[in-house]
Amino acid sequence: SLSPRQNVDVVVDWRYSNNLENLDEVKFNALQSVVRNFEVRLNTAPYTGKQARVYLSLPVVIRGLDDPAGMRLSWTTRGVFADGTVTPGTRSLLFDGIITSAVLIDILDFTIEIDGRSFINPITFEPEYEIEPVTP
């Protein structure tokens, strides 16, 4: 990644704040945060002119959670990347096509969903980006 390391302080809020008496346990404990205008710059120079897939993944262990199943990261994009969703320990397709420049750049809006029962400390994580060439 060519993106500078970004420490983003986010405000976490309850996802559902109305009709609390009618919520099941999962919805009652649902937290959410939104991170807007997050610039991602990926060094794709070695793949310029080639077909490739780019994935966004999260590590299995997320500091601040006692259960990786307690978090989900989703995003929408504004350019070359695809919208998607990922959970800790998995990856999601971010780009599939011919790399046309040495740097792929896009702006992402992230939504972080957390099960409040898994939240034990401030959460710290870094998305990881993987590039795989596609051979014909």
pTM of the model: 0.86
Closest among 70, 73, 71 to 85, alpha carbons compared: 73
Coil, helix or strand for 69? helix
How far, in Å, CA of 10 to CA of 24, rounded?
A: 26
Non-local CB neighbours of 38 within 8 Å, separated by 6+ positions: 6, 8, 107, 108, 109, 110
Q: Report yes or no: 8 and 110 within 8 Å, Cβ to Cβ.
A: no
Tens of each residue's pLDDT in the chain, 136 residues: 555 555 666 778 888 877 778 888 888 888 999 999 989 999 999 999 999 999 999 999 999 899 988 999 999 999 899 999 999 999 999 999 999 999 999 999 999 999 989 988 888 888 999 999 998 7
The pLDDT score that the predictor gives to residue 113 is: 93
